[in-house]
Amino acid sequence: MFNSLSAQPDMYRRKIYLRTLLTGLSIGSVILTSGLLLGAFFLFQKNNIEESLLDSNIAYARKLADTTDHYLTIAQRELAWSASQIVDLNDVGKLHRETTRLFQQSGFFNSVAVLDRHAVIASVSPESLSLVGVKVDTPETE
């Protein structure tokens, strides 16, 4: 009689044992689970780091905005006080003293100039700019 198993190639005759199958499935599931857990962990860490960086950047931006606002408020107060001191533009000595004081006092300004009503510079500090008597021609002075 013809044996159907003996006519088949060797690779079909080989038996898969239950122990080998279960071991392979266990190892595969451990590797797959570990990979998924690592992927989820890295994704969570990435999102967590991004949120942390955004929060710290927002805090820094707010602090910088507050500092800049404070800086500009002080500079405006200094300009307002100086403007009240030089009401009379005819006293050149007083104009010069006030522009020098404002320039040297806080370091807020890299130069200070006082213009008369005709947009001509009446006093400037530092004097090395040599701008006294120069007419300023901008849309704001018209």
Instruction: Record the pTM.
Output: 0.56
Residue 69 lies inside a defined structural domain of this protein:
yes
How many domains, in total, are found in the chain? 2
| Residues of the chain predicted below pLDDT 70 | 1-13, 140-142
Among the three residues 37, 61, 85, which one is the final residue of a domain in this structure? 85
Q: What is the pLDDT of residue 118?
A: 83
pLDDT in tens, 56-81: 999 999 999 999 999 999 999 998 98
Helix, strand, coil % (nearest 5) of the chain?
A: 65, 10, 25
* One-letter-per-residue 3-state SS of 21-41: HHHHHHHHHHHHHHHHHHHHH
Residue 9 lies inside a defined structural domain of this protein:
no
